[in-house]
Amino acid sequence: MKEAAKALHQREDIAVRRADITAAFVLIKTAEYHQKLDAILSDSTKFERLTKNPTDKIKKEANDIISSVNTATNAMHLPTIIGDYSLGYLYGNVKTHKNGNPLHPIISQTPALMYGLAKLLNQILTPYVPSRYSLHSSTEFLKKIRDSPGTGIIASLDIESLFTNVPVDETINIIMDHIYRDPSTPQLNIPEVSLWAIL
């Protein structure tokens, strides 16, 4: 088995990718895999082709915003971004349950300079996320089903390429309204203009 996996890994004409949703792996022709990724990236409403690496410019702009946030509040200190970083990268998991086996695009930002700041912001903003209509696990979902009166309809909505179709500005506006204009939420000790700039 190990020898077979090694042999597949060495073949340039075959790509071994994870299947979407399931824990299986898929063998797909490398040319077909790249063709499907290129089709996703060619959508100019979601992606923009750059002519140079913007990392240094983004780092300077981000550190300027971080400095202004740290000056405006005494209760919170955001760390300055230092060091060298790479760009994020796109890969796709194969949707074996769909006709034509399209790819589920995933953009990994792990090596990117904003990754650490994004994780910190996630911790800061999570308490402000409304949880009334959210479930945290399949176990919680099953409990809801068992405890329900047995009436009504359960529907599953399938959204194509969810994260590349999220309206960014509208989403940020919803976040801002919930944090700064909802009297039921605690006050966040970051100026709204600064948080907007970071997001």
Number of domains in the chain: 1
What is the length of the chain? Answer: 199
Q: Which of 13-22, 130-139, 185-194 has the highest mean pLDDT?
A: 13-22
Above 80 in pLDDT, residue 131? no
pLDDT at 7: 80
Averaged over 127-152, what is the pLDDT? Answer: 82
Parallel, antiparallel or unpaired: strands 25-29 and 14-18: antiparallel
109: tokens are 């930002």
Q: How far apart are CA 99 and CA 20, in angstroms?
A: 13
For the entire predicted model, the pTM comes to 0.70
Taking CA 132 as the corner, what is the angle to CA 128 and CA 137, rounded to the nearest 5 degrees? 95
Give 148-159 pLDDT, tens digit per residue.
887 888 887 777
The residues, any chain, with a CB within 8 Å of residue 150's CB and separated by 6 or more, are: none
Residue 21 identity: I
Residue numbers of the domain that contains 41: 2-198
Mind giving me the DSSP string for 60-119? HHHHHHHHHHHHH-SS--PPPP-S-----EEEEEE-TTSTT--EEEEEE-TTSTTHHHHH
Containing 150, the helix (H) or strand (E) segment is: none
